[in-house]
Amino acid sequence: MTMDETGLVAGFYEAAFDATLFPDRLRQLGEFSGGVGAILLLWNKRAGHAAWLATSGHTGPDAPDAYTRHYAALDPYRPLVETMPLGTWSTSSDLFDDGFIAKSAFFNEYLIPRGTRYMAGCRVMEEADFNAFLGIHRAPGQAPFGADELRQFEAVGRHLGRALKVYCDVTHARLGHGAALAVLDHSATPSLLVDGAARLLFANAPAEALLQADAGLGLQHGRLTTTRSVEDHRLHRLLAAATGADGRQRTGGEMAVVRTGGRPPITVLVTPIGPTTTLNNLAPVSAALVLVHDPARQLAHPSKRLRARFGLTQAETALAHALLDGKRLAEIATERGVSIETVRTQLRALFRKTGVSRQADLMRLLLAVPQQPPTA
């Protein structure tokens, strides 16, 4: 390995602990390979979309977003590389002739206008949910990549794959220290973390089961959706408001989602949550906590644990259960035959005894108390 290769590999291992360094390391790789730049794509296999695209900047600042939103579906190269053994390098010129390139919207609308005509690519990492692809680019006036150059890239690709594995492990470790995810993962309430564009960041096991059970909610291209378009628009407005994506102060809300087959609607509660770091993002992003109440799915709530842990009265414990079920204060008051002010007084008592000041914080705290699995 030459000194240049050694420095390049060391740089990628450094980026594993500081992901903001990846663009500069990709720029160095582009220069090392005699190209115009390089890209690093993290592909979510389960959701079937690009989780993250880092570039050396040669394709322009809008390229990652344009690829993720539109051109990933038109990319003819990535699916072919995905079928090749891990660590195998290939070139676009070997796979696509000039006739194909002339008709390809991906090349003519996305790559070539951004100064790229030839690609060398490799799948450098594979995990349960993710594949990572490394691509090196050359401009239309340059020569395609040759076999000798691909052999030279092999060592760099192996080390980059290992560096990415370190990056994933580090990111997961950071996530592991987040109380929100630890709480949600052990909760029996279907709970999801979603960003302002409705992209799913996290779902606990009950939420995963709900998404697969035709319960009115689902995933489309990795985004949370509803069956009916009118509800879909409302859900996305709630998520934008909860994450600040609409440019306003972050607020929560709730809505009902109608289901087919005469089943009762589910209630979806959306509330702001602090910045969340995931493999889908280089930096923390504003997220929304989505809690789902399915009236057909009853939980055996931990009444004794709640009363013992926080010193709650029977009425306060019942209120906590109702909130965990996603019910509104007005709905709780009607069901219990009391005034809304009585329920608000009990809610303030819950705040005082649990040491929180907001309903969203109360929900996260209550979710941390282990619940029993659903009962028939």
- Domain extents in the chain: 3-175, 180-375
Q: Which amino acid is at 110?
A: Y
Q: Which amino acid is at 234?
A: R
**Average pLDDT by consecutive 10-residue portion of the chain (376 residues)?**
62 76 90 93 86 91 91 96 94 95 96 96 86 94 93 83 71 49 64 85 84 81 87 91 78 82 80 58 65 66 68 86 79 90 91 82 67 45
Question: Quick one: 303 exposed, middle or buried, by C-beta within 10 A (0-12, 13-18, 19+)?
Answer: middle
Of 9, 289, 23, the residue nearest 152 (C-alpha): 9
Of 164, 191, 220, the residue nearest 13 (C-alpha): 164
Q: What are phi and psi of 353, to 5 degrees?
A: -75, -25
Pick the CATH number of 3-175 from 3.30.450.80, 3.40.50.200, 3.40.50.150, 3.90.870.10: 3.30.450.80
Rounded to whole angstroms, the Cα distance separating 352 from 370 reads: 21
Rounded to whole angstroms, the Cα distance separating 11 from 316 reads: 56
Q: How many CA atoms lie within 13 A of 343 on its CB side?
A: 20
E-strand ranges in the chain read 37-44, 49-55, 89-91, 118-126, 130-138, 191-195, 200-203, 217-220, 223-226, 253-257, 266-276, 285-293, 298-299, 374-375
Which strands, in side-by-side order, build the sheet including 89-91?
49-55, 37-44, 130-138, 118-126, 89-91
The answer for residues whose C-beta is within 8 angstroms of residue 3's C-beta and 6 or more apart is: none
| Domains 3-175 and 180-375 are alike in CATH topology | yes
Tell me 195's DSSP state. E
pLDDT at 247: 73
Q: How many CA atoms lie within 13 A of 175 on its CB side?
A: 21
CATH class for the domain made up of 180-375? alpha beta
pLDDT at 103: 96
Are 326 and 254 in contact by the 8 Å Cβ rule? The answer is yes
Q: Full-prediction pTM beyond 0.75?
A: no
pLDDT at 371: 52
pLDDT at 175: 45
Are 331 and 343 in contact by the 8 Å Cβ rule? The answer is no
